[in-house]
Amino acid sequence: MQVQHQANSVMAAVSELTAHVEEVDDRDRDNTNHNNHDREPGSEHVAIRRLIRRLRISEPPTRFRELAANVLRASLGAQAVVWIPRDQGEPPIIAGRVEGVDWIDYRELATAGARDAAGSVAPVPMPTVKEYARASAGHAGWVVAVNPPGGRAFLPAEVERIHYVASLIGTQLANSGIYAELKGLLFGVIRALTAAIDAKDPYTSGHSERVARIAVRLAEELELPAPQHADLYVAGLLHDVGKIGVDDEVLNKQSPLSADEYQKIQAHVEIGVRILRDLKKLNHILPGVRHHHESYDGTGYPDRLSGDAIPVEARILAVADSFDAMSSNRPYRRRLGLNQIDQIFHEGRGRQWDPRIVDALFACRADVEAIRQKGLGESLIGAVDAALGRG
Q: In terms of Cα–Cα distance, which of 267, 204, 266 is closest to 236?
A: 204
Collapsing DSSP states into helix, strand and coil, what is residue 71? helix
How far apart, in whole angstroms, are the C-alpha atoms of residue 376 and residue 386?
17
How far apart, in whole angstroms, are the C-alpha atoms of residue 165 and residue 174?
14
Radius of gyration of the chain (CA): 28
Phi–psi pair at 116, nearest 5 degrees? -150, 130
Task: Considering the candidates 130, 243, 253, 264, report the single residue annotated as catalytic.
Answer: 243
Q: Is 281 a catalytic residue?
A: no
Q: In terms of Cα–Cα distance, which of 246, 227, 221 is closest to 356?
A: 221
Burial class (CB in 10 A: 0-12, 13-18, 19+), 357: buried
Burial class (CB in 10 A: 0-12, 13-18, 19+), 239: buried
Please tell me whether the peptide bond between 302 and the residue prior to it is cis, using omega within 30 degrees of 0: yes
Q: Which residues are catalytic?
A: 243
